[in-house]
Chain A
Amino acid sequence: EDQVTQSPEALRLQEGESSSLNCSYTVSGLRGLFWYRQDPGKGPEFLFTLYSAGEEKEKERLKATLTKKESFLHITAPKPEDSATYLCAVQAYSGAGSYQLTFGKGTKLSVIP
């Protein structure tokens, strides 16, 4: 069974204090690893897709990296508006021509001014 574990569950940072969120996964036949951001009362918003170990992607203060067993979401000099829950998900083949997306429980990030 595919598993996605995110840590920490919650993270409080001072504005400007850089840190990383972790997503470790166990999946057969990884097709892609996705990072999403979810604000309270809203649906998840797509951030990145990573396909293979060694790949990196950046967007503003966020950088996502991927190894064979885990992914990191690095946040550089965060601002209060970066406060949200960050979700990691893996996509793998689940049979009958379908590809299932399995989510982790998320890391709730709070950035204090």
Chain B
Amino acid sequence: DTAVSQTPKYLVTQMGNDKSIKCEQNLGHDTMYWYKQDSKKFLKIMFSYNNKELIINETVPNRFSPKSPDKAHLNLHINSLELGDSAVYFCASSQAPREGLSYEQYFGPGTRLTVT
């Protein structure tokens, strides 16, 4: 069974369009994340959701909006796509971090977004 799944795997679209990427986890985790991996393979946190509340937003343009309908899902909606948004986007999940405890994150397979 897939632990963290994302759809679509590939997404090709034109500048100015609006698109969404879906993520689902079946691990029972409380926290979900979105990461962006650029052309240089650098993986950087975009958002984190804990119990449906946004707790991290790392200098991401407000064209990007995460939506969490429930604990198992965290979707990423992108408005007015730009060339620079081309990258691979990864969803991840983990148990909720707590004082003194760190939990590993489990990643989905990624969505390769190409903006033309």
| A-B complex is real | yes
A111 at the interface (CB under 8 A from B): no
Also in contact, A51 and B102, with CB within 8 A (given A98-B97, A101-B45): yes
Q: Is the CB of B97 within 8 A of A44?
A: no
Nearest-neighbor residue (CB-CB) of A106 within chain B? B41
B64 at the interface (CB under 8 A from A): no
Residue from the set A44, A51, A94, A98 with the largest chain B CB neighbour count within 10 Å: A44
Q: Is the CB of B41 within 8 A of A101?
A: no
> How many inter-chain residue pairs (CB < 8 Å) link A and B?
60
B25 at the interface (CB under 8 A from A): no
Residues of chain A with a CB closer than 8 A to B90's CB: 43-44
Also in contact, A100 and B56, with CB within 8 A (given A31-B97, A43-B107, A91-B102): yes
Q: Which residues of B contact A (CB under 8 A)?
A: 4, 33, 40-45, 48, 50, 55-56, 58, 90, 92, 97, 100-102, 104-110
